[in-house]
Structure 1
Amino acid sequence: MGEIRVGTCSWTDRAFVASGWYPEGHRGAEARLRYYTARFPVVEVDATYYGLPSTRNSALWAERSPAGFRFDVKAFSLLTGHPTRSAALPADLRPALARQRGRTEPDPGLLDEVWARFSGALLPLRGAARLGAVLFQFPPGLAPGGPAEAFLRRCRERTAGWPVAVEFRHPDWWREAHSARTAGLLAELGMAAVAVDMVQTLPVSVPPVAPVTSDRLAVVRFHGRSPAWGTGSKEDRFRHTYTPEELASWAPRIHAMADRAREVHVLFNNCCGDAAARAAESMRRLLDTSAAPAPVD
């Protein structure tokens, strides 16, 4: 059976830091990371979606974490097809972004440079064997079809040899009509599918399936079950306290994923106060004591 690693989607979220989960004396950047890594074996870096990472930060993260720890790093917004603010780019790249306003595709030269800086900044993590995956969270507008598949192939060409995980926000990718093709495409590209837990009562709800498309890695991200998904503030969208029953419903699927992948990363994104950390702690205890797995969806 593969190793199951449970953690949270950020260790620096403002509400998380302010919640009191970090004790006195562990509020600085280095102390927070060392405290977190002593309690969880994996974390997601979400700040890299909002702005390009730096080589210096990657080196510090590697230095301040124990051997074997994993950082799953979210791909920068421009690389996943999301709208990107000019302020999110380094100053020397902002004029190129301004010139492409109104275009449907980013300027190739700008894209080349952003890819080079993004991947270059992660080299310290990769060199220290701390990089768990580069997480591509694609926007809701990326629906199944030829153009989207071509986009995925281009992303894979850019990340050849890197561990990659893919989360689709358009629900059709994992609905019955497309799920087999989606799994086959990701397996062909060597990309790990991301299973999603979220509220299931909305038109945009992603089905809670748990495919394994890579023998190297499988990922589950728990977004909470707020009915305010897609509306309101960040706190409204992600405010949810997982019940023991909700967590237990995933335990057999996670165990089954671990039968088919060397690592399974289970990450909590219900980032309101310390809810993600508490859910992660509960899930880890549950997985240690839960029964044999059921078949994967």
Structure 2
Amino acid sequence: MIRIGCTSFKEHTYLTGKKETTLYEYAGYFPLVEMDTGFYFIPSRANIETWLKQVPEQFRFIVKVQKVFTKHQELEEGQTLTELAEQLKNNMAPMIESGRLFCLLAQFPATFKCTRENVDYLRILRQLFQDIPLAIEFRDRSWYEEKYLEGTRNFMKNHRFSLVVVDEPKKLSTTVPLDAYVTNEDFTFFRFHGRNDMGWTATGPDAQKVRTNYRYNEEELTELQRAVESAKSKTKEIAVIFNNNAGGDAAENATQFKRRLGLDYEELNPSQLELF
């Protein structure tokens, strides 16, 4: 099955015409969402249970792991990765046990390069989340260099990681390629950030507002469609997340993509369109 969705559920004015969309409303259009709030803090069990009450049974969540797990931030004094992992798994138990977690996402920064130390760290991460589907996203091209690519792919397979298939700017020498190679037969995760070459490396307080400010055109959507369809026969489940929403384009592109693939999801929440 191919599930299509967006990062977050609130900021998709295209769907409802409202400044903020509720999760219940969002789940009337898509069967999948990426919750990036987990990057900043571990969601409480109460929040998890609230999310589950707002979506139908067939709806799935992708949840980012907290940034200490991906080297964006150092552990605070007295913290351990083991304790944080146990807290995350305990809080997420209702989602995991109900089968509505598609996967956890570990998004590593561009400073996380293909080194022996970092490969060893990925082994630790797998041990922390042994029985949970885990997707790995790299932001540094070294993992895809010719001398490392086969090793990267085999390592992902052997450790039951799904290497995220990423689309991001093409004109920068440091960005990763669109590589639709399947490393996990159970699930594959496509994550589309847009191709804003100028904004991708922006820094400062407004960086987030421009990095994913991009609208895919029809030719680019065709390229992405070919990549997704090439993986269909090699994996049981596919998740496609549009993260190009700094300018509000993700939901529209996701809707276009859904139509292109001829997908008509059943068992969604009632949407505004269905009320008239």
TM above 0.5, yes or no, is yes
Of 235, 239, 243, the residue aligned with 1:269 is: 243
Identical aligned residues as a percent: 29
CA drift of 1:253 comes to: 1.7
Of 177, 184, 201, the residue aligned with 2:171 is: 201
> Quick check: 2:61–2:102 contact (8 Å CA) kept in 1?
yes
Structure 1 length as normaliser, TM-score?
0.83
> Quick check: 1:175–1:207 contact (8 Å CA) kept in 2?
no
CA drift of 1:230 comes to: 2.1
Match for residue 49 of structure 1? Answer: 39
How big is each residue's C-alpha offset from its partner over 1:123-168, in whole Å with a ceiling of 9 and x where there is no partner?
Answer: 1111111100000111211111211111111000011110111101
Q: How does 1:258-297 map to 2 (within 5 A)?
A: 258-288=232-262
Distance between the aligned counterparts of 2:20 and 2:181, measured in 1?
Answer: 38
Match for residue 184 of structure 2? Answer: 214
> Quick check: 2:61–2:101 contact (8 Å CA) kept in 1?
yes
Equivalences, count: 259
Could you tell me which amino acid in structure 1 is paired with residue 5 of structure 2? G
Of 60, 66, 80, the residue aligned with 2:70 is: 80
The 4+ residue runs of structure 1 with deviation greater than 4 A are none
How big is each residue's C-alpha offset from its partner over 1:260-291, in whole Å with a ceiling of 9 and x where there is no partner?
Answer: 111111101111243100010011111229xx
Distance between the aligned counterparts of 1:115 and 1:187, measured in 2?
Answer: 22
Q: How does 1:23-62 map to 2 (within 5 A)?
A: 23=17, 27=20, 32-62=22-52
Match for residue 16 of structure 2? Answer: 22
> Quick check: 1:218–1:261 contact (8 Å CA) kept in 2?
yes
> 2:150 aligned with 1:180, yes or no?
yes
CA drift of 1:209 comes to: 0.7
Distance between the aligned counterparts of 1:131 and 1:259, measured in 2?
Answer: 22
How big is each residue's C-alpha offset from its partner over 1:36-74, in whole Å with a ceiling of 9 and x where there is no partner?
Answer: 112101110001001111111111111211112110000
Distance between the aligned counterparts of 1:69 and 1:170, measured in 2?
Answer: 31
Distance between the aligned counterparts of 2:131 and 2:192, measured in 1?
Answer: 27
Uncovered stretches (5+) of structure 1, i.e. residues with no partner:
85-95, 100-106, 290-297
Distance between the aligned counterparts of 2:46 and 2:16, measured in 1?
Answer: 24
Deviates more, 1:179-188 or 1:115-124: 115-124
Distance between the aligned counterparts of 1:189 and 1:178, measured in 2?
Answer: 16
Of 10, 21, 30, the residue aligned with 2:8 is: 10
CA drift of 1:110 comes to: 2.7
Alpha-carbon RMSD across the aligned residues, in angstroms, is 1.8
Of 187, 192, 202, the residue aligned with 1:231 is: 202
> Quick check: 1:71–1:131 contact (8 Å CA) kept in 2?
yes
Distance between the aligned counterparts of 1:140 and 1:129, measured in 2?
Answer: 32
**Equivalent position SS for 1:179:** helix
**Equivalent position SS for 1:21:** helix
Structure 2 length as normaliser, TM-score?
0.89
> Quick check: 2:15–2:26 contact (8 Å CA) kept in 1?
no
Distance between the aligned counterparts of 1:190 and 1:121, measured in 2?
Answer: 23
> Quick check: 1:81–1:138 contact (8 Å CA) kept in 2?
yes
> Quick check: 1:21–1:274 contact (8 Å CA) kept in 2?
no
Deviates more, 1:111-120 or 1:237-246: 111-120
> Quick check: 2:214–2:247 contact (8 Å CA) kept in 1?
no
Q: How does 1:133-148 map to 2 (within 5 A)?
A: 133-148=103-118
Distance between the aligned counterparts of 2:20 and 2:152, measured in 1?
Answer: 42
Distance between the aligned counterparts of 2:73 and 2:24, measured in 1?
Answer: 34
> Quick check: 2:112–2:118 contact (8 Å CA) kept in 1?
yes
Match for residue 163 of structure 1? Answer: 133
**Equivalent position SS for 1:178:** helix
